[in-house]
Structure 1
Amino acid sequence: MRVSVLVLLVCEQLLVLTSAQSRCDPLTQYDQAGQCCTMCAPGTRMLSPSLCLTPQCAECGQHEYQNRYNTEPRCKPQPYCDPNKNMEDSQPASKKKQSTCSCLRGFHCSSDVCVTCVPHTTCNPGQRAKSIGNHTQDTVCESCPEGSFSVSTSWNSVCTKWTECESGYQVQEKGTHVSDMVCVETPRNQGGLIAAAAVFGSVLIIIVLVCCLCRAGDTRQRAKGCLESCRGDREKLPREPSPLLFTQVDETENDPELQLSQEDEDMKIPEENLEGEREELVSEGVLSENGQFVTQERGKDSIQPQQETQAQTSMD
């Protein structure tokens, strides 16, 4: 019986304690003499706890923080990120949560306890960063794969694909891990160029020869004229056909009918016209004063009657 009574008493006390604790919010309130009082919000501190329901709170100062509801009279100091150790705040400053220090870009922690940061490993030309370093780990380098190259020295180096020669270009120098492919323009057909040059040269030579021959012909003609004028009657040059060398044959002498018709035609022509034509022929040197046709030998200055010329020719 006594044991049962003791158990009942313990249970009642536990129920009383549980009910008393459940009346206050453990996140935003605190118990003061059985009364639930309000705490100060994160980022602030409590100046005076005199007023239970409306306490006096003040904002945390610079480089301070308070990350929960509290009754603390002071805020917590933010950790110091020393830039001389290549460190910086990993996030903007806040008064409601603690800041964390991280390494600057290109650096990583020197140990598990990050008290200082050291530079990342740099990849040499012909290499790339297999894994780029961050706040906690270093850069890992590897060689560029076939068909790519790298010329930089950097902790975040990457490889660039070789240039592909376009149509009309050919490979002059193959790429390596540290150099790109070199492309040059494909040379045109050399045989075609040589043939075109030969044809052009032949045509040019022919044109030059023609011009030279033409100039030489003009020179010969000039020399020939000078020679003829100098020699005069001493040397006879080949004669050129001339209409004056041929005597006009009168077809009417052997044909009586033609003679009659010709006489009729002569009767129709006015006499003054005949006299005018005769004077023109005499003035031009075609007829002599006796009415004979005359010829002029090449290189002679005098004109002789046709009969005298024929007589001289028969004597020769």
Structure 2
Amino acid sequence: MRRNKRDNQCGAHKFLGSKMECCDVCPKGKYMESECQGSAKTKCRTCEHEHFMDKANFLSACLPCTVCQEDQNLVTDTECKADQNRRCKCKEGFYCTDIECHHCRPATLCGPGSGVKEKPTAISDTQCERCPPGTFSDVTDFLTPCLNHTNCLGKELEKAGTPEANAQCKDTTSCKCILSISLGVGFAVILIVILATIFFFYWRTRRHSKMTVKLLQVKPEPLPLAHPDTELQYPTLCHDEKYSQNHCSSAVPIGHCMEMSDIECDCVAMSTLGLTQDLDKSVVGGGATGNHDSSSRYQSEPQENEWSET
């Protein structure tokens, strides 16, 4: 490898060659294979695999890429390229102690009651803090911050939270809700039964009152009573063959027949009461005319000599 040769006379991006000529330098990612000579310019070549050159140069070879040692808790951050060296970093849980990150140190762990305020970076350690009221951390790591306690909204708080533990809740709301619904339904059913019973008795009482009023408003009419002293003494009068239909019709007033107490003739039924009234009228009238009418309307009972003829 040749040393850099520069002369203020050559200017930027040039170097003074062995022949005392100003030659062009090679760009990054390449190295110088040969100097310029006369009209021939500097000859450059690209860096080989696992080699790099990250600056303009007139070196005769590229630099080897860095290897990330796993036993040093290093992992590859960026791969090696012709114009860039491989960059390493510490694996998770470790941080670098120098800018070049040649060595790694384990990150600090935050225990229960303390949360991670700042996570570890490639070049810095973890920053922990004590969990403030209403928060907790029940793990030991370098990632988890303090978390809020569980809000037992709609549930029953069984155990209050601490900086080291979360709050514990009882899931009893569903049971209370079912009990409340059951009580409400039962109360509604009982209320409906009571109202139905009251309505039934009210309807029954009102119906009985209406029936009583109707019965009290009925005015029974007096039944016609027969007079025993004026009852017809010869009920077979009309059935005698000697009396014609016309005679019976003239003797019995029309429209005075009754079901049980009436006297039924072959022509028209005559009520006892009507016959009695006619007899009373004939007696009260007296005189020849009255006697004549009575004898013509009411015939006497046949005599024994007349019975023999039959």
Per-residue CA deviations over 1:181-219 (Å, capped at 9, x if unaligned) read 526439469999879868968999xxxxxxxxxxxxxxx
Question: Is 1:30 equivalent to 2:3 in the alignment?
Answer: no
The one of 138, 142, 161 aligned to 1:175: 161
Q: Does 1:251 align with 2:224?
A: yes
CA drift of 1:22 comes to: 5.3
One of 89, 92, 109 as aligned partner of 2:76: 89
Contact 2:26–2:58 under 8 Å retained in 1: yes
On the 8 A contact 1:252/1:262 being kept in 2, the answer is no
Partner of 2:111: 124
Shift of 1:261: 6.7
- Confirm or deny: 8 A CA contact 1:148 1:176 kept in the other structure: yes
CA shift at 1:82, angstroms? Answer: 0.4
Structure 1 residue 58 corresponds to structure 2 residue 31: no
TM-score normalised to structure 2 length: 0.52
1:263 corresponds, among 247, 256, 259, to: 256
Of residues 85, 93, 96, the one that matches 1:109 is: 96
- Given the alignment, which residue of 115, 119, 135 partners 2:122? 135
Identity of aligned residues (%): 21
Q: Secondary structure at the match of 1:84?
A: helix
Asked if 1 retains the 8 angstrom alpha-carbon contact of 2:90 and 2:96, the reply is: yes
Answer yes or no: is 1:42 the counterpart of 2:28: yes
* 1:84 to 1:191, Cα distance in 2 relative to 1, 3 A: closer
**Aligned-partner residue type, residue 117 of structure 1:** C
Compute the RMSD of aligned alpha carbons. 4.6
Give the secondary structure class of the aligned counterpart of 2:142: coil
* Equivalenced residues, count: 207
Instruction: Report if the CA contact (8 A) 2:52-2:80 is conserved.
Output: no
> Match for 1:154 among 141, 147, 152?
141
- Give, in angstroms, the shift of residue 30 of structure 1: 1.5
Q: Which letter does structure 1 place at the counterpart of 2:16?
A: D
| Aligned residue number for residue 69 of structure 1 | 56
Say if 2:30 and 2:44, in contact at 8 Å, map to a contact too.
yes
- Structure 2 residue runs without a partner (length 5+): 1-5, 194-221, 231-251, 270-310
Q: Name stretches of at least 5 consecutive residues in structure 1 with no aligned partner.
A: 1-19, 205-248, 275-316
DSSP-derived class of the 1:263 partner: coil
SS of aligned partner of 2:27: coil
Bigger radius of gyration among the two:
2
Does the Cα contact within 8 Å between 1:63 and 1:77 map onto a contact in 2? yes
**Aligned partners of 2:33, 2:141: CA distance in 1, in Å?**
54
Whole-Å separation in 2 of the counterparts to 1:193 and 1:156: 49
SS in 2 for 1:90: strand
Cα pair 1:68 1:96 within 8 Å, conserved: yes
Q: Is the 8 A contact 1:173 1:183 kept in 2?
A: no
Instruction: Report how far residue 120 of structure 1 moved.
Output: 1.7
Q: Deviations over 1:63-91 (max 9, x none)?
A: 21112222211111122210121112333
Comparing 40-49 and 195-204, the one that deviates more: 195-204
Shift in Å, 1:147: 0.3
Paired with 1:71 and 1:110, the residues of 2 have a C-alpha distance of: 34
Distance 1:260 1:160, change over 3 A: farther
CA distance in 2, matches of 1:113, 1:71: 25
Structure 2 CA distance for partners of 1:124 and 1:271, relative to 1, 3 Å? farther
Amino acid at match of 1:49: E
Contact 2:31–2:45 (Cα < 8 Å) also in 1? yes
8 Å CA contact 1:67, 1:97 repeated in 2? yes
Q: Deviations over 1:130-180 (max 9, x none)?
A: 3322223322323211101223332111121123343x4443332222213
Write the letter of the residue equivalent to 1:173. K
User: CA contact under 8 A between 1:85 and 1:116: conserved in structure 2?
Assistant: yes
Q: Take 2:53 and 2:100, find their aligned partners in 1: how far apart are those partners? A: 24
Of Structure 1 and Structure 2, the greater helix share is in 1
User: Residue 175 of structure 1 contacts residue 182 of structure 1 at CA under 8 Å; is this kept in 2?
Assistant: no
TM-score (norm 1): 0.51
